[in-house]
Chains A and B, each alone.
Chain A
Amino acid sequence: MIFRAFLDKFSFFFWLIFLVINIPIYIFGSIYIQEILKKSEQEKITLMMTTLAPAIAFNISFDQEDQLSEILNGILKYEDIRKINLDSLHHKKSLSKQTDPTLELFKYEHSIIDPFEKIEIAKITFYYSNTNLKSITQQIFITIFFIFIFALIVFLIIFYSIRTDLNALKAIANAMKEYSITKKMQPIILECKSEEINTIANVTNQMIASISDYLLQLKSFNNELQEQIEDEILKQQQQERLMIHQSRQAAMGEMLESIAHQWRQPLNIIGLATANIETEYKLGVLNEKKFDERMEIVSLNLQHMSNTIDDFRNFLNPERKLERFNPHKSIGEILNILDAQFNNSNIHYELIEESNVTFYGVENELKQVIFILLSNAKDAIMLQIQKQKISQGLITIVTKEKSGEGVIEVCDNGGGVEESILNTIFDPYVTTKSNANGTGIGLYIAKNIIESRMKGNLCVKNNKEGSCFAIKISLENLDKKENEVL
């Protein structure tokens, strides 16, 4: 235990402090104290002589032999003064005491000045040793040594008296060090008499128990939260699905209108052709050649109508097939569907292919986006025509490649989007149309499809005549995208 006490962490600081204090004292003592004491000794003798010199001078002047001897003997009683020589005209004295011949003696001379004539009447010489000085130095070091021993004893007593408490604190410290919220911890049990340390241990146990309780609660909260989040996500997905469905329904409504427009002309042609056949048949002028001509007209128009239906069917095909496709072609198909409506609404359109680009994804979804953008453009243009702000609509669709991205720009002259809603135009239920015409989910669905499914970006800006929507889809890592599961 004693050995341990000397090596203990606590004792390390003790030794450090002890050495920090004592080493400088020792060095200072060795180097300076002797020098200081030597100087002090010299000053003491000088002071003594300065004090006694007038008395000696008076005694010499008044021939007071006995008193002179008395003074000199008095000086000789001082431990370090070993020999005194007094040399004057009438007095020659030499007093000394037994001295170790090996002892180093220092010499000090002082002139005795006559108190009346102010001339030197004698010279007194002292021979002194530093015995006293050495003794003082020794005493200092002995004192330091005893202080050291005393400090050591005090340290050991303190260590023995607090070792139980220290061990208890160590146990608490170790327990806290090893504590982890992921690990179950045993309560700290101490055999310690200190009320304070027991309080610390108890409070620590309580804290750990509280933390464990809180952790359990937290886990439970987390689980609940997770469930709530999952529910919310599910709801959100359902909502989105519903919105997409609504959007699709709306699109279908518009498509039906488009079909109606698309079919009107061929139906008229077919009607005219068949009406002529019937009339000519009744008149008896229907020959084979004419019949074939009429049937060819009917056949061509039916083919046209059939193609239109195919386009619609392709567009409304619920199958989500991931594939590489040419957006220019997809846009062309949508324009075919809307062509009749555009013509009917006095809207011209241009499809410009600046670069040949290929996208990867579900083609129908891009078509749905293009359809939404074109329908919105058509509605905006029609509103402007109604307001007589423009006489003819113009929609320009450009497909191009820019900075590694495939870009589709859909620009119109429909007056643009109001600046106040430009930043929220893609939020759900935001519409610039009247309540009857717009649901406010078209652009939300469009942005969702571009950003979530095609990993692209859909943005809008106003130009001089109207708005300009841009779809940007990265063309880099197209093969990698091909391997991703959407």
Chain B
Amino acid sequence: MTQRVFFFLLTLFSLLGAKEYDTIVMNIEAKLFPKIAILEENIAHNPSPYLNIIIVYKEPDYDAARNFKQKIESTYPDKIGKKKVIVSLTKFESLQIANMDALLVLSHELNELEMIALWANKNKIVTFTYEPAFLEYGFIASIYIGKTTKPYLNSQTIKKYNFVFDSYLLQLSKFKE
């Protein structure tokens, strides 16, 4: 019976395109992503008092997106550095460039991922992905979970689109070659 239920659910989720999100990983990412974002030179030097993080989601990932929003907001209730963190949720289809510093993409549509990464990079928007493996689609940062957990940066994209991060961040991060 249990097996039946499991396979049912698996089939259901697969059909719906939903993905399971690990709470611990989400916690770490919610803590690290704003810090990584603010260590990017363009964002750091932007006189705006806000750090606008947009979470782009597909419908099946809405809960995860909301979860992420809550975690970030609870981690940084006031400010990070001199900027107030503002997290917004946006559907993939309604994504606009206005007031956007960083983008956390919660999608598993591979075609869309590459496209959105390219679009964000061209617009100098720091992109994060929950899945470290998705860095290969052109996203800038994720987290590396190994013996220790580290920021995981895409060195090729950083170089290609001239993103400049704080040297100390670079020192402690792992790079995807």
Contact = CB atoms under 8 A, between A and B. Distances in A.
A118 B38 CA distance: 14
A67 to B, nearest CB: 6
A64 B150 contact: yes
Contact of A55 (B147, B150, B171): B171
A22 to B, nearest CB: 49
A62 interface: yes
A118 B80 CA distance: 10
A58 B38 contact: no
A-side interface size class: 10 to 19
A484 interface: no
Given A116-B81, A117-B81, A58 B149 contact: no
Contacts of B149: 63
A66 B81 contact: no
Nearest to A68: B172
Contacts of A118: 81
Contacts of B151: 62
Nearest to A66: B148
Contact of A116 (B38, B147, B148): B38
Contacts of A61: 35
A341 to B, nearest CB: 140
B172 A59 contact: yes
A428 interface: no
Interface in A59-89: 59, 61-67
A212 B39 CA distance: 101
Contacts of B150: 62, 64
Contacts of A116: 35, 38, 80-81
B32 interface: yes
Given A64-B150, A66-B148, A115 B80 contact: no
B118 interface: no
Interface string B138-176: 000000000111110000000000000010110110000
Interface centre among B35, B38, B172 (most CB of A within 10 A): B172
A253 interface: no
Contacts of A57: 168
A404 B159 CA distance: 127
Nearest to A57: B168
A54 interface: yes
Contact of A115 (B147, B148, B168): B168
Interface centre among A54, A66, A115 (most CB of B within 10 A): A115
A341 B81 CA distance: 147
Given A62-B32, A64-B150, A66-B147, A55 B81 contact: no
A120 to B, nearest CB: 16
A414 to B, nearest CB: 128
B38 A55 contact: no
A116 B168 CA distance: 12
A66 B38 CA distance: 23
A51 to B, nearest CB: 11
Interface string B87-128: 000000000000000000000000000000000000000000
B168 A67 contact: no
Given A55-B171, A55-B172, A64-B172, 4 more contacts: A54-B168, A58-B166, A58-B168, A64-B148
Interface of B: 32, 35, 38-39, 80-81, 147-151, 166, 168-169, 171-172
